[in-house]
Amino acid sequence: MSLLKSGTNQMPMFKTDTLIIGGGLAGLSAAKALEGKKNYLLAERSPRPGGLAVTVGKGGFLFDYSGHLLHLRWPRTKALILAALKGNCVTVRRDARIYAHKSWTPYPFQVNLSGMPDRVKSECVRGFLKAYAPKLQSSAPGLQPLALSLQPEVFSRWTKRVFGEGISRHFMLPYNAKLWQYPLERLTTEWCGPFVPLPKPEEVLQGAYGRRRDGLGYNSVFHYPKRGGIGALADALAAGAGGLRLGLEVESVNLKKREAVIRHFGPVSFRRLINTSPLNEFIARTKDAPDKVKRAAAKLRCNTVYVLNLGARGVRSNMHWGYFPEARFPFYRAGIATNFSKKLAPNGCATFYIEIATDGRALDLARAETEVLKDLKACGLIKTSGQVIEKLWLKISCAYVIYNQERVAALPVIFDWLKANKTVSVGRYGAWKYSFMEESIKEGLEAAEKTLT
Ligand SMILES: Cc1cc2nc3c(=O)[nH]c(=O)nc-3n(C[C@H](O)[C@H](O)[C@H](O)COP(=O)(O)OP(=O)(O)OC[C@H]3O[C@@H](n4cnc5c(N)ncnc54)[C@H](O)[C@@H]3O)c2cc1C
């Protein structure tokens, strides 16, 4: 890196080969790939590295930005993550449940109807068989009749087509309405593939009238740091990132000139750029983006998630997390993080994470808190509010990107222009998709490695 004089304002111009915007897991992994090979500047605006994968301490408790569990599916990134954690990692078999109709049943709902009242179970099984039968007859031998269609389809129609009326009415529709905070008649289904398990008919029937089914879905086994919360992973990656600078916010970029301006730092000239900040914000900060690219980026939508973290005494449940489809609960998911890492709380205590989504509107925190405590008692996770001894609200302004037709139309416009201007944008928000930590790490690594060839 070298300091030059910029032509315009006489502030010193910082020169680097690669500018990485954002020190979450994607940015940190890009830095890892470049370390010792190319000089780079990794600008992270917050005072801590890790982005959404940080852990915050309060009153002797450690809280993540909601449950952040490692689902490791690719050998290379799995090896990298486990090596970074240096043994500070446990492997856990999921205990996830659903609370509906005043009953608990194991997750996934569609293959664990046995916990539901008979009336609900019959409605779900009947609906599933009705939806399934015609497809079975019409599908070619060897084809999976429940498979996602190739074209994006709207969620409300897809779920009824695939799971039938009952499962849709009692779980898929109310749960997803609460999570996405977006009309399900406009939500498209490209995200469903890895995240919504598609059962065979025998699995639905066995789950309704026979044995519990555990192993279905992407998250049936997960990894998590033994100590330090998920932030331990980000801290481990950050420790090796010589070019990481905290508290540096990239204010604007000009892709043609290959220059950026960083607040309280000054102008930076770069040869290559890897963005991991939210795509819509990045384009808004890009001075030379044409109007049509700016208009496309302005159409991208996301929801907001508020996480109420609680430290509590005397919690008896062994569950890792539970899904709450019913509208009477303001939260869509509640987890007990100490059931996968005891070290997150003092001895004898537990930590809860309770997730409430909005469409961006501010949440009335005091009211939400009262409701949450009442509801945790209603479903039996705590007995009295007096058990709760610590709390911390965390807000994720951009949490789940919304899959809709506008996104389908906007992304090619934006990415074609970025590609023409030799810029990559990766990570959950850089790529503007529903992804997970391992994928952010993979994309960060690969984006940086491409610049080395
Ligand atoms: C509620 C919720 C639960 C989740 N649970 C899981 C889970 O259990 N397992 C899992 O694998 N994944 C989970 N995820 C997804 C996971 O959080 C992400 O995939 C991953 O952490 C994203 O990393 P990233 O680096 O792509 O983005 P981020 O973590 O968002 O990092 C981007 C970084 O860019 C920085 N930045 C933004 N703008 C600028 C700027 N102008 N200048 C400088 N820096 C900037 C931000 O401060 C941030 O640090 C969850 C996500 C949510 C919302």
Q: Give pLDDT tens digits for 111-125.
A: 999 999 999 999 999
Site to probe by mutation for ligand 1, drawn from 181, 263, 437, 445 as the one with most ligand atoms within 8 Å of Cβ, is 437
Q: What local confidence, expressed as pLDDT, does residue 4 receive?
A: 43
pLDDT band, residue 6 (cuts 50/70/90): very low
pLDDT tens for residues 188-235? 999 988 778 788 888 899 999 987 766 666 678 999 999 999 999 999
Nearest residue CA, atom 6 of ligand 1?
68
Give the whole-angstrom CA distance, residue 128 versus residue 113. 12
Site to probe by mutation for ligand 1, drawn from 64, 68, 89 as the one with most ligand atoms within 8 Å of Cβ, is 68
pLDDT for residue 317 is more than 80: yes
pLDDT band, residue 141 (cuts 50/70/90): very low
In the block, residue with structure tokens 């078999």: 93
Reference 188, options 215, 158, 217; nearest CA is 158
State the closest ligand 1 atom to the C-alpha of 399, by its place in the atom list counted from 1.
Answer: 53
CA 347 – ligand 1 centroid, Å: 30
Region(s) of the chain under CATH 3.90.660.20: 303-396
With DSSP H G I counted as helix, E B as strand and the rest as coil, what are the percentages for the chain, rounded to 5?
35, 25, 40
State the closest ligand 1 atom to the C-alpha of 27, by its place in the atom list counted from 1.
Answer: 25
- 242-262: string of b/e by CB count within 10 Å (b at 16+)? ebbeeebbbeebebeebbbbb
Does the beta carbon of 277 lie inside 6 Å of ligand 1?
Answer: yes
pLDDT tens for residues 18-50? 999 999 999 999 999 999 999 999 999 999 999
Q: What local confidence, expressed as pLDDT, does residue 137 receive?
A: 62
CA-angle at 289, arms to 287 and 294, nearest 5°:
110
CA 268 – ligand 1 centroid, Å: 24
Does the beta carbon of 71 lie inside 6 Å of ligand 1?
Answer: yes
Report the predicted TM-score, pTM, of the whole model to 2 decimal places. Answer: 0.94
Give the whole-angstrom CA distance, residue 71 versus residue 77. 11
pLDDT band, residue 2 (cuts 50/70/90): very low
Give the DSSP per-residue string, 256-291: TTTEEEETTTEEEEEEEEEE-S-HHHHHHHBTT--H
Q: Name the DSSP letter for residue 50.
A: B
Region(s) of the chain under CATH 3.50.50.60: 2-53+74-83+226-301+403-452
Does the beta carbon of 233 lie inside 6 Å of ligand 1?
Answer: no
CA 27 – ligand 1 centroid, Å: 10
CA 348 – ligand 1 centroid, Å: 31
Task: Say which CATH superfamily domain 303-396 falls into.
Answer: Protoporphyrinogen oxidase, mitochondrial; domain 2 (3.90.660.20)
Does the beta carbon of 24 lie inside 6 Å of ligand 1?
Answer: yes
CA 384 – ligand 1 centroid, Å: 34
CA 277 – ligand 1 centroid, Å: 9
Does the beta carbon of 53 lie inside 6 Å of ligand 1?
Answer: yes
pLDDT tens for residues 87-113? 999 999 999 999 999 999 999 999 999
pLDDT band, residue 136 (cuts 50/70/90): low
Does the beta carbon of 219 lie inside 6 Å of ligand 1?
Answer: no
3-state secondary structure of 430: coil
Does the beta carbon of 433 lie inside 6 Å of ligand 1?
Answer: no
Nearest residue CA, atom 22 of ligand 1?
428
Does the beta carbon of 23 lie inside 6 Å of ligand 1?
Answer: yes
Q: What local confidence, expressed as pLDDT, does residue 195 receive?
A: 77
- As assigned by CATH, the class of the 2-53+74-83+226-301+403-452 domain is alpha beta
Does the beta carbon of 440 lie inside 6 Å of ligand 1?
Answer: yes
Does the beta carbon of 238 lie inside 6 Å of ligand 1?
Answer: no
Question: Which segment of 122-136, 253-267, 332-346 scores lowest on mean pLDDT?
Answer: 122-136
